[in-house]
């Protein structure tokens, strides 16, 4: 009895594959739209009619002193405040870096989705336990780690350019994103190695039968 006839996983994999195709299409459409609108603005100096892009940076806010119900002043600290800069009101260099960074992250997400689609493709055919899938998991782990490295670099450049445009602006760089990326990447690396061992054991078992 084949894997596909014993399990509902192939049908689930097919459904997820359709959803991932939809996500890839949305990424491609978003990248095309951002290229056209940003190019139009940089060439003509005019903001396009559809102007929904914003640069969001974590910033620090001075403590606020509020009066309590008893009339006593209370100092309140504000953490993780977000500064929102309309993209088409920012300096051209800040626009270029922001859009370029978004494209890089879009590319990494697309590469990750492609690896997952190929993994799902083997499930649809009823042959998930193959060496290629272990390599696909490793590729996915590397993509996640790369995203964790690229994201703070882009964020740092964007924040530095924002500080040049607005000297009073102070952004805060968080290491939570890279840490999470490394954590998930290591987990997927471990799963890939376990999967590889499982594939080798299956191949040895098939040879002895």
Per-residue pLDDT reduced to its tens digit, 5-50: 456 888 888 899 999 999 999 999 988 887 787 777 777 766 655 5
Burial of 29 (0-12, 13-18, 19+ CB in 10 A): exposed
Residue among 169, 150, 24 nearest 84 (CA)? 169
Helices (H) and strands (E) in the chain, counts: 5, 4
* pLDDT (0 to 100) of residue 144: 95
193 C-beta neighbours (distance < 10 Å), count: 13
Residue among 112, 158, 162, 156 nearest 137 (CA)? 112
- DSSP conformational letter for 171: B
Residue 149 and residue 141 in contact, taking contact as beta carbons nearer than 8 Å = no
Q: In this prediction, what percent of the chain has a pLDDT beyond 70?
A: 88
50-63 tens-digit pLDDT = 555 677 777 777 77
82 C-beta neighbours (distance < 10 Å), count: 9
Residue 55 three-state SS: strand
| Per-range mean pLDDT, top range of 41-50, 52-61, 152-161, 200-209 | 152-161
40 C-beta neighbours (distance < 10 Å), count: 15
Confidence tier at 124 by pLDDT (50, 70, 90): confident
In the predicted structure, residue 176 carries a pLDDT above the cut 60: yes
In the predicted structure, residue 169 carries a pLDDT above the cut 90: no
Rounded Cα–Cα distance for residues 131 and 199 (Å) = 6
Residue 111 and residue 143 in contact, taking contact as beta carbons nearer than 8 Å = yes
Asked whether the CA dihedral 50, 152, 150, 161 is positive or negative, the reply is positive
Confidence tier at 189 by pLDDT (50, 70, 90): very high
Q: How far is CA 33 from CA 16, 30, 44, 160, in A?
A: 26, 5, 16, 26
Rounded Cα–Cα distance for residues 20 and 142 (Å) = 19
């Amino acid at each position: 009895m084949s894997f596909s006839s014993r399990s509902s996983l192939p049908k689930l994999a097919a459904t997820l594959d359709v959803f991932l195709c939809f996500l890839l299409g949305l990424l491609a459409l978003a990248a095309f739209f951002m290229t056209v609108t940003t190019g139009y603005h940089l060439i003509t100096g005019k903001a396009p009619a559809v102007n929904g892009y914003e640069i969001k940076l974590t910033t620090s806010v001075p403590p606020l002193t509020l009066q309590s119900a008893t009339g006593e002043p209370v100092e309140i600290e504000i953490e993780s405040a977000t500064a929102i800069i309309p993209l088409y009101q920012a300096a051209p260099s800040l626009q270029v870096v922001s859009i370029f960074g978004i494209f890089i992250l879009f590319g990494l997400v697309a590469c990750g989705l492609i690896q997952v689609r190929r993994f799902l493709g083997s499930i649809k055919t009823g042959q998930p336990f193959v060496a290629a899938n272990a390599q696909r998991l490793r590729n996915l782990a590397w993509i996640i780690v790369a995203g964790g490295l690229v994201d703070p670099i882009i964020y740092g450049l964007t924040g530095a350019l924002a500080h040049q445009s607005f000297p009073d602006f102070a952004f805060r760089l968080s290491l939570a994103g890279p840490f999470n990326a490394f954590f998930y990447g290591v987990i997927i690396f471990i799963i890939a190695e376990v999967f590889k061992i499982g594939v080798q054991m299956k191949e040895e078992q098939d040879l002895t039968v």
